Structure 1
Amino acid sequence: MNNLLISVVIPTFQRPDLLQRCLTALGSQTLPTDQFEVVVVDDGNDADTAALVRNLARQGALQLSYLGQSQRRGPAAARNRGWRAARSPIIAFTDDDCIPQPDWLRAALKRFDAGASVVTGRVEMPLPNRPTAHDRTTALLETAEFVTANCFCRRTALEHVGGFDEAFDIAWREDSALQFAFLRAGIPIDACPKAVLVHPLRPARWYAPLRDERKNRYDALLYKRYPNLFRARIPHYPALVTAYYGVVASALMTLGGAVAGNKSVVRAGGVGWLLLTTGLLAYRQANQPIGELPKNGLVTIVSPFLSVYWRLYGAIKHRVWYL
């Protein structure tokens, strides 16, 4: 007999140590373990991950199942496979690097008992004593309206909107795409501050901000799908975007002036580039040791060009006016 009240779906990719921490936290839920199941969808089809989940399943502390993806398709596709394979009418989503707090499931279920269709919980991301600019940006997840690291949906709501949009094939904007799909369909999203999970910041390589600029191409896709909701609910950071375009324009102006042999144009472009880059570097270097200056300087110089490239790439690929 199926007594399950809720199914927890966790996409993972080659991080068995983090996944084990998450599963340990789920084993400490105040909700009895016979009332929920955990579905792990392995987007890396990793042998160590499979062994971890199957060993824990044999121990019997959790009702665990493992699904391996034949090829990497991103967390949206992994979550879709997970909720469709789940056995309960309510689906909880979290990520392998999160730590659900003991009352996480019980708190959310109370909102469903009151008639909710979709619930979003609260994410805590403690910052280190000397956070980097990348840390501060990542920790903005705490203030997001809706994150799939901590959300709960009735199966019927997911079926109504078709689940996650798998065109978002990396961990970026797939949560907003699901949120906007619910809102467009008239499905309300209830906040549940008592459904708490901790999302520790993981140490990032110094070049992580450069790698992350590729995410900008998915903003164009989200804008194309939901232009009004995008404008109303996605932070735009106009000062930063303007500065990035200004840096690129100044660099092109300097280059054009050099090619034309016009020293005044070279000088004007160079001064503009220097002023804008200095301002951006001051923000990135804030509260950081002086030894980080070379790395931060390189990231500051390169980031505007990558950001503008990926924004324009997304606009062209998805044929939408998004700058």
Structure 2
Amino acid sequence: MISIVVPTVGRPSLTVLLDALARQLAELPDAEILLVDDRRDPTGEPAVPATSSGYAKVLTGRGAGPAAARNVGWRAARQPWVVFLDDDVVPAPDWARRLRDDLTVGDRVGGVQGVVEVPLPADRRPTDWERSTAGLAEGEWITADMAYRRAALEQVGGFDERFPRAYREDAELAHRVRLAGWELVRGRRVVAHPVRPEGRWVSLLVQRGNADDALLRRRYGPNWRQELRLPPGRRPRHVAVTTAGALALTAVALRAGLPRDAASRRVLGALAATGALGWAAGTAEFARARIAPGPRTRDEVLTMLATSALIPPVAVTHWVRGWWRTRSSTTDGDVAGAQR
């Protein structure tokens, strides 16, 4: 009845997940576990522990990201329900039993989401990265733990492989499944999603997702966030701050090339001051919003100050890059033609 699909690049957390599943196999006697090795370079150490070979089948992905890897998994699945798990979640001890209960639903229910819990430190306020990860607990239809009928996946063509990151690809799939007439509901099974360690610049790296937002804007128009039921973002503010900073720098550069007695120097000076003030105010507001709920340690504050100045132009750059890259993308929902 159930196929469990786990895309992986060989992170150590996969062993924890597989151990948790192995202890619950008796609750799912007909289940199959499909692990998709999605490393770009599959040479070297195996991505999947050898101890899992007795109860899991390993498939080879194309190194094209989780959307493509999940497509490899569900297309190889033999069961009518496909449960997607991330390789860094930990199922609760009663996960399998509750999964069976969750999937006892009406014929028009095409997907059932599990409950995702993100453990946070009990002795201090969470960092910016920890709060960002904790947002998964409020997300809708995220594939950290999401079950779909195979029939629903077949009807809509699966995941859109133009989304190369673990970002928005699950929300976009859920939207197409709902448009196809299926219902999506929440279940009661629980997985924990620990916060994985990351470097201090991780908030800059995740801005690459803005390129994927550009694809959603191309496909679903200016109201794509409302249509996909996604929370509002800060991109308009990032654009304003970046524009103010660019205005200030441009005005300063032009002013430096003019004679001291040129009348336009005063105008350019005023433009530079206005742009600098707007940039400083926007950056300060952004930094305060990130620092205030955090632990406020010296390292965290310095990181927030530096990244709050850099995130707006980085985010806008990725958005523009994504907009240009997707200029010829389809807008009619034809995912099959978009698969690589």
Could you give the per-residue CA deviations for residues 242-281 of structure 1, whole angstroms, max 9, x where no partner exists?
Answer: 3312221111221222133222222221121111111212
Corresponding residue of 2:205: 211
Q: SS of the residue aligned with 2:306? A: helix
Quote how far apart the aligned CAs of 1:107 are.
Answer: 2.1
Q: SS of the residue aligned with 2:82? A: strand
1:243 aligned residue (237, 240, 243): 237
Aligned runs of 1:119-130 on 2, under 5 Å?
Answer: 119-128=112-121, 129-130=124-125
Give yes or no for contact 2:291–2:301 (8 Å, CA) kept in 1: yes
Q: Which amino acid aligns with 1:213?
A: Q
Q: SS of the residue aligned with 1:215? A: helix
Aligned runs of 1:1-323 on 2, under 5 Å?
Answer: 5-15=1-11, 17-29=12-24, 32-44=27-39, 45=42, 47-50=44-47, 52=49, 54-58=50-54, 63-69=55-61, 71-115=62-106, 116-128=109-121, 129-192=124-187, 194-227=188-221, 230-232=225-227, 233-237=229-233, 240-261=234-255, 262-286=268-292, 287-319=295-327
Could you give the per-residue CA deviations for residues 72-119 of structure 1, whole angstroms, max 9, x where no partner exists?
Answer: 111111111111112222111101100111232332332433323311
Quick one: distance in 2 between partners of 1:177 and 1:271?
A: 38
More deviation, 206-215/281-290: 281-290
Give yes or no for contact 1:180–1:229 (8 Å, CA) kept in 2: no
Q: Name the TM-score, length of structure 2 as normaliser.
A: 0.84
Q: SS of the residue aligned with 1:113? A: coil
Quick one: distance in 1 between partners of 2:58 and 2:240?
A: 49
> Which has the larger Rg?
2
Give yes or no for contact 1:180–1:226 (8 Å, CA) kept in 2: no
Could you give the per-residue CA deviations for residues 170-229 of structure 1, whole angstroms, max 9, x where no partner exists?
Answer: 11111011101101111111111x111110111211100111111101012123333455
Give yes or no for contact 2:9–2:47 (8 Å, CA) kept in 1: no
Give yes or no for contact 1:41–1:82 (8 Å, CA) kept in 2: yes
May I ask how many residue pairs the two structures share in their alignment? 306
Q: Greater helix percent: which structure?
A: 1
Could you give the per-residue CA deviations for residues 149-183 of structure 1, whole angstroms, max 9, x where no partner exists?
Answer: 11111111111111111111211111011101101
Give yes or no for contact 1:43–1:74 (8 Å, CA) kept in 2: yes
Q: What is the root-mean-square deviation in Å for CA atoms of aligned residues?
A: 2.0
Q: Name the TM-score, length of structure 1 as normaliser.
A: 0.88
Give yes or no for contact 1:11–1:42 (8 Å, CA) kept in 2: yes
Give yes or no for contact 1:161–1:185 (8 Å, CA) kept in 2: yes
Quick one: distance in 2 between partners of 1:57 and 1:82?
A: 16
Q: Percent identity of the aligned residues?
A: 35
More deviation, 207-216/116-125: 116-125
